[in-house]
Amino acid sequence: MCKLFERIVNVRLVHILEKNEYISPFQSGFRKSRSTIDNLMSLETDIRVALLKRNHLVSILFDIYKAYDRTWRYGLMKNLYDLGFRGNLTIFVQNFLKQRFFRVRMGNTYSNIFCQEEGVPQGSVLSVTLFVLAINPILSVIPQTVQKNLYVDDLHISCCARNMQFIERQLQTAINNIVEWSNKNGFTISAQKTIGIHFYKRPLHPDPKLLLSSAPIRFQDNYKFLGIVFDKRLTFLPHIASLRKRCLRSLNILRTLSNTSWGADRSCLLRVYRSVIRSRIDYGSVVYGSARPSYLKRLDYVHHQALRLCLGAFRTSPIPSLYAEAFEPSLSSRRDKLSLSYYFRILSNDNHPLRGTLLNGNNNRLFNARPTCIPHFGLRMRNILPDTFHDVKIHTNDFCGHPPWMENRISYINPFGNFTKSDSNNSVLISLFNQHRQFYQSYQPVFTDGSKSLKHVGCAFFTNGHIVSYKLHSLTSVFSSEITVVYFALKYIDVHDIRKSILYTDSMSLLESLRSPSTRNPLIKEVRLL
């Protein structure tokens, strides 16, 4: 019950924080429709533009020492008070933080019990929200001339200019402000693990001299930021080499499981490959996918070798046959798919900090004039989008428009739940449906359906002798057509003031999505609000 109550409090607290924009848009940790890719993409875009304009970009990655366990509880309560929270919520959070005990186990031996004086409790869904709230003000002390990004406690700042002295002044001011804020709020910046990197295109330029608490910041030729290795030329070659090495090592798992005498079958091997190896290749592919094609081809060997092991194919088997047999696309096609999905996810969020960058075309002519410079993500996506996407209207998703505790909970009746279509006689199903209609004969039936062909998508509903049909975009999925016709049918019921009606659909996935409280589909939310 305690865990359930903490989840309820967290849902309401997150809604208030997002609705009133109390959390900085540059914080990507533990937020809906946000991920580590947002911070990585922001840095990659800034570097691409800086290299295009032949400017310097200096990036600093901070390491906060035991940030989660050393959160100042009084400072957290003060942040809640400053945001206007009063009453039972603050009392609950205060009781949630205090009187926390822990001990250490080594084998069968336990240590003494100690009281946790600072930090937020481990293992609670509410703890991460409170930590984000505690560290959020650190972004407000950074000057506007310095770009900043924060993923939970991974703080990153950067500054771009042609004059290196200007960059040093701005970054040093930001570093001093960060250190001062950290000292006042109980956090400690580790000078040994804080590193910087100088991105530039022109040779013979020394690295800037920056100090963190009188200790010089160490500069490197490359560093790992949220799992992606950035090098000073932004070639992503070190990351691709490291990724290839780790994936080749993981191929030994497939070699062991693909034994011809006792090994797993094809479907199991493909599932292992997709979860263990391909997931590594997919992570950050929208970012490092901007590397040179010759560099990216080094990962194709891993992909092809894994498919040969899963399928038991010969080494001389053509690569297209591997794709056809395994129902797997090439890595380049998969990178394009993931990139397009991420691109439209950003455009569907009005409050996303990268949305303005993707829609801004100020540097497009300069990129076209310098073909040797790799364009940023927004321009790359516009170059690969087919013409059929130009007339598509992107539906913006309001993640905090309606309180989640006030949404309508939808339930449905499934008289065929104990039957399967393949094993049941049609006469039995028809008889069961007639009994159902006899029981609900006072309700006006509304039958809905959506269908898709090679070039056309449509949906329609039938009620009271009338058929209302709609033509949808050719790229619309079957699920979207099903939920669209349900939406129009409910609007029809509302406009014609039909008091008693019953709506029929043959899409079980639609019904489960309507019943699930965690669905983010905007059309599902529109139906719930009717």
Residue 43: what residue type?
A: L
Cβ(103)–Cβ(114) below 8 Å: yes
372 alpha-carbon distance from chain centroid = 31
| Closest-CA residue to 242 (of 231, 253, 229) | 229
Cβ(257)–Cβ(248) below 8 Å: no
Per-residue pLDDT averaged across 345-355, rounded?
A: 87
User: What is the CB neighbour count within 10 angstroms for residue 196?
Assistant: 23
Per-residue pLDDT averaged across 106-114, rounded?
A: 89
- In the chain, the domains with their CATH numbers are 1-231 (no CATH), 237-389 (no CATH), 426-529 (3.30.420.10)
Per-residue pLDDT averaged across 227-236, rounded?
A: 93
What's the predicted TM-score (pTM) here?
Answer: 0.86
- Residue-wise pLDDT for 33-65, tens only, equals 889 999 999 999 999 999 988 899 999 999 888
- List the beta bridge partners of residue 56: 161
Q: Spell out the long-range contacts of 305-309 with Cβ–Cβ below 8 A and sequence spacing 24 or more.
A: 305/251, 306/251, 306/254, 306/273, 306/277, 306/278, 307/273, 309/251, 309/254, 309/255, 309/258, 309/269, 309/273
Strands 444-452 and 501-504: parallel
Strands 215-216 and 101-102: unpaired
pLDDT for position 279: 95
Q: Cα-flanking dihedrals φ and ψ of residue 210, to 5°?
A: -125, 145
> Residue 287 above 70 pLDDT?
yes
**What percentage of the chain carries pLDDT values higher than 70?**
97
Least confident of 69-83, 250-264, 312-326, 516-530: 516-530
Cβ(197)–Cβ(221) below 8 Å: yes
> Residue 133 above 70 pLDDT?
yes
- Residue-wise pLDDT for 174-196, tens only, equals 999 999 999 999 899 988 899 99
User: What is the CB neighbour count within 10 angstroms for residue 188?
Assistant: 15
156's tokens: 């990153």
Cβ within 8 Å of residue 41, ≥6 positions away: 286, 287, 342, 354, 377
**What percentage of the chain carries pLDDT values higher than 90?**
45
Please report the DSSP string for 182-221 in residue order. Answer: HHHTT--B-TTT-EEEEE-SSSS-PPP--EETTEEPEE-S
Higher-confidence residue of 480 and 99: namely 480
Q: Spell out the long-range contacts of 76-84 with Cβ–Cβ below 8 A and sequence spacing 24 or more.
A: 76/120, 76/130, 76/133, 76/134, 79/133, 79/134, 79/136, 79/137, 80/133, 83/20, 83/22
| 86 CB-side CA count, 13 A | 1
- Residue-wise pLDDT for 291-348, tens only, equals 999 999 999 999 999 999 999 888 889 999 999 999 999 999 999 999 999 998 898 8
In our burial notation (b when 16+ CB lie closer than 10 A, e otherwise), range 450-467 reads bebeeeebbbbbbbeeee
pLDDT for position 39: 94
> Residue 523 above 90 pLDDT?
no
What distances in angstroms separate CA 513 from CA 19, 205, 507, 522, 525, one per listed residue? 24, 56, 10, 11, 10
Q: What is the DSSP letter of 170?
A: H
459's tokens: 């949906």
Q: In sequence order, which ranges of 87-154 are alpha helices (DSSP H)?
A: 88-97, 125-135
74's tokens: 């009084």
pLDDT for position 391: 63
455's tokens: 């070039």
